[in-house]
Amino acid sequence: MSSSPEAINNALVDALHELKALDVQLLDVSKLTSITDTMIIASGRSDRQVKAMADKVIERAKELGIAPLGVEGEQQGTWILVDMGDVIAHLMHPTTRAYYQLEKLWSDDQATSKTSK
């Protein structure tokens, strides 16, 4: 199944909203790095919710024909990274997210950021 990048991003964001993820951000970082085009950043209230969010993103990616290239942080659950090539999802606790400030790190005049839903 071949979907547009926008359709893939929307499907992954929708999957996070289904699990009541907090403050879901979609960042276009294609002009800032060659490692990925898009980063999705979202928070969960607990280790269990963050792990469930990662599982849901992986499940939705597979439904779209995208095999995740790697997953890191599943054991701890405070920050789980799901690498899907053109999209990388950072799923974390609000305190971890506030500490690392990925939105600030990856923001630039060249990048566009939008809050979804």
Report d(CA 15, CA 5) in Å as an integer.
Answer: 15
Tell me the pLDDT tens digit for each residue of 75-112. 988 999 999 999 999 999 999 999 998 888 777 543 44
The tokens of 6 are what? Answer: 């926008």
Domains of the chain in start order, with CATH, are 5-108 (3.30.460.10)
Closest by alpha carbon to 111, among 43, 44, 25, 42? 25
Over residues 49-78, the mean pLDDT reads: 95
The beta-carbon contacts of 72-75 under 8 Å, at least 24 apart in sequence, are: none
**Could you tell me the pLDDT band of residue 2, with boundaries at 50, 70 and 90?**
low
pTM, two decimals, is 0.86
